[in-house]
Amino acid sequence: MVQILETWRTQNLMHHLVVLELDSDFVGRFFHNSELAIVAGTNLTKNGLILQVVGKQTAIMEFLNAIRGAIKVDRVTTGKGGEGMIERGPSIQQYRVIKVAFASGWYNVPKGISIRDLADKLELSKSTVAEQLVRAENNIVGSFLDDSR
């Protein structure tokens, strides 16, 4: 169901405040586990619905495959390589890991927490925590070095 709540014009643009109601079993299930989120920039235009989402690649692909199975999708684009904050820095998962690591003393000398204890605190495997730390550190150091040129 589509319901237009309000319309208004600014200069050359006509704005619509729209409620788009979708079957929760179809769409809602992808957003309950916090692995996928709709972000600002989502628009309903004369060319169709432009839906901007962020999240884990696997969650995005599951969502996209379900959407493609139900409706026609003309185009899919990614923001990869963009200058946005999310694209330049660590992923949401990497941010979570590095934030907990920092708060737990991982970067203190001597270390305030072991990788095993950090993994237990995050409820992740040691190898996942180690990988996420290296990837986050690579993103942060890479951005720092790029910005210092």
Give the DSSP per-residue string, 39-84: -TT-EEETTEEE--EEE-HHHHHHHHHHHHHHS--------TT-SS
Do 94 and 55 lie in one domain? The reply is no
The pTM of this model reads 0.44
Q: d(Cα 38, Cα 51) in Å, to the nearest integer?
A: 7
Do 62 and 8 lie in one domain? The reply is yes
* Any domain includes 100: yes
Domain hosting residue 143, numbered range: 85-147
Q: d(Cα 98, Cα 106) in Å, to the nearest integer?
A: 9
Say if residues 59 and 36 touch (Cβ distance below 8 Å): yes
Do 63 and 22 lie in one domain? The reply is yes
Per-residue pLDDT tens digits for 74-126: 666 666 554 443 445 677 778 889 989 999 999 999 999 999 999 999 999 99
Phi and psi, residue 96, nearest 5°: -60, -45
Do 66 and 10 lie in one domain? The reply is yes
115: burial class by Cβ within 10 Å (0-12, 13-18, 19+)? Answer: middle
90: burial class by Cβ within 10 Å (0-12, 13-18, 19+)? Answer: buried
Per-residue pLDDT tens digits for 11-55: 877 777 777 676 656 777 777 777 888 777 777 777 777 777 888
| Residue 108, pLDDT score | 96
* Any domain includes 78: no
| Residue 69, pLDDT score | 78
Residue 63 has pLDDT above 90, yes or no: no
* Any domain includes 80: no
